[in-house]
Chains A and B, each alone.
Chain A
Amino acid sequence: MNAAIHVENLTRRFQNLVAVDSISFDIEPGEIFGLLGPNGAGKTTTISMLSTMLKPTSGSATVNGMDIIHDEDGVRKSIGIVFQDQSLDEELTGWENMDFHGRLYRIPAETRRKRIDVLLALVELSDRKDDLVKTFSGGMRRRLEIARGLLHEPKVLFLDEPTLGLDPQTRNHLWQYIATLNREKGITIILTTHYMEEADRLCNRVAIIDHGKIIALDSPQNLKEGIGGDVVTLRSENARAIALTLDDPWISRLEEHDGTVTLSLKNAEEHISGIITRLAAKGIPVESVSIHKPTLEDVFLCFTGKTIREEEADHRDMVRMFQRKARR
């Protein structure tokens, strides 16, 4: 078994809620693997279990061949992790945060010093290394955390929502770092995100996760091709009628939800005028039409029947409901 990460029927329950529901997958060494899904889908719970921070309710997993339940320390030594929430000491300098980490992982002083300098240069923080972290911007903190996660030269790096809350420019920058790290150091990277674009751009393979289950797992390319051609979105006050009218065999998929109809079809450019003409003949109003190449957003919609934003709204409602219950 050479997989960097091997997961088998991993499950975690919190009271009545099944946060992660019997998921299984393998991650190859050197891969960038993405866990993509809305907030509350179970991504962070999965990462927490794989990094030994949380015990699974049932199921098993190995990281670098070591069991997450029986060999916690072995797993911990071989992984680096960047948490979703910041985990730096703001009262220490950037360098001191690195040094603290290096000492915790028992890296000898000489090696530690050298590596810290190299890594700080890599994330372009050398000139700020003696400033207190509380003076750092969000992007700088994130970069420092990534550098810190690499200090003990882990074979696997976990990134939990690495670009959450960062501006587009910093995000782009970080993506480049992550890709470079993977390419040059050969580190296996597992990242969670709810940004479709991030998963699409970075990951070799993506597992789409929703309600604690993996609903699709493949390369972004295959996932997008899998939904059958281009995506056409029609907006109309009578979306239902459109859905009923368009029953042609060359339409590989049709979804209707709140005032829009989404179609998947090959060579959409050639069919679009025909579609519009037919709808006009039937007197069905069409407010707008758009054609685009499929994105992971469309893949998510295809598998769940919902956009990721709708799904997040649902989760929020659920959480609110739980809170209301708890208050009573």
Chain B
Amino acid sequence: MDIIYTIWLRSIKRYIRSKSRIIGSISMPLFFLIFLGFGLNSVVQIPGMGQDYIQFLIPGVVSMSVLFTSVFSGIQIIWDKQFGFLKETLVAPVSRLEIMLGQTLGGATTAFIQGVIIMLLALIIGLQITNPVGFLIAFGFMALIGISFTAFGIAIASRMEDMHGFQLIMNFVVFPIFGLSGALFPISSLPSWIAPITLFDPLTYGVEGIRYGLTGVSQINPVVSFIVLGAFAVFMTISGAYLFRKIRF
């Protein structure tokens, strides 16, 4: 446990020190929120949900922020590999599982904080709180997204030589995950042949869960969302740990 804490502590220290990274990863979701939110608010009607688009969009943008930050945090171990720091941890008498779990929790924590920052900004923009318990539900789903996708990032980084592949992963894996998740539009409004695909996207359940927490309405039963996303988090952590165990340096 103390080893996991040590690795976690390092991630948090690094995160707090990188002001540019914090601001950088807040700006994109914030722009989405402002431009799409205000821009489409009067035009878009969400069928079956008696509310304006911006309320619908906020949970999506919060999950986006958690998703991107966590994948990025996971992939960052490539830098540790390149700058040699990974060797220092790998040669210590600690198990690779502890290292991986520490990294995952560290990345998930930073992603979670990013999500909370977006949520607070959303309060200023116009997020209406329906009930305080809902916040806790949203927090729970954010944590699960953070864990799942940091582990996902670590799994990918364990197989990557350097950062060159990062853009590829972002464009062909992370962006589709975001796009198909129903963060920007209700999944029911997709053509019938595409809608089932969204159900294979783990982020869909995260977005739906957060949406249930913040607005009280969702298209997927929150219990189902919780089970699916929870299972995915466990699966990703195990896969990440497995691949990290075989990392070459």
Contacts and interface: CB of A to CB of B under 8 A. Distances in A.
Interface of A: 51-53, 72-73, 76-77, 81, 83, 85-92, 96, 100-101, 103-106, 148
Per DSSP, chain B at the interface is helix
Interface of B: 2-3, 5-6, 10, 13-14, 17-18, 83-94, 249
A1 B92 CA distance: 26
Contacts of B83: 86-87, 89-90
A104 B94 contact: yes
B35 to A, nearest CB: 33
Which of A51, A100, A105, A148 has the largest number of chain B CB atoms within 10 A? Answer: A100
B21 to A, nearest CB: 11
A89 B10 contact: yes
B90 to A, nearest CB: 7
B88 A73 contact: no
Given A91-B14, A92-B14, A104-B92, A83 B6 contact: no
Nearest to B18: A91
Nearest to A53: B91
B207 to A, nearest CB: 32
A100 B6 contact: yes
B84 A76 contact: no
26 contacts: A52-B91, A53-B249, A72-B93, A73-B93, A76-B91, A76-B93, A77-B93, A85-B87, A86-B83, A87-B83, A88-B84, A88-B85, A89-B85, A90-B83, A91-B13, A91-B14, A92-B10, A92-B13, A101-B88, A103-B5, A103-B6, A104-B89, A104-B92, A104-B94, A106-B3, A148-B88
Contacts of B5: 103
A87 B87 contact: yes
Contacts of B14: 89, 91-92
A170 to B, nearest CB: 19
A106 B13 contact: no
B84 A105 contact: no
Contacts of B6: 100, 103-104
Nearest to B82: A85
A91 B80 CA distance: 11
A51 B6 CA distance: 22
B3 A103 contact: yes
A100 B92 CA distance: 11
Which of A52, A86, A87 has the largest number of chain B CB atoms within 10 A? Answer: A87
Contacts of B91: 51-53, 76, 81
Contacts of B86: 87
A184 B10 CA distance: 33
Q: Which 6 A-B pairs have the closest CB atoms?
A: A87-B84, A76-B93, A103-B6, A104-B92, A87-B88, A73-B93
Contacts of A101: 88, 92
Contact of A85 (B3, B84, B90, B93): B84
A18 B118 CA distance: 55
B90 A100 contact: no
A83 B44 CA distance: 59
Nearest to A158: B91
A83 B87 contact: yes
A96 B83 CA distance: 17
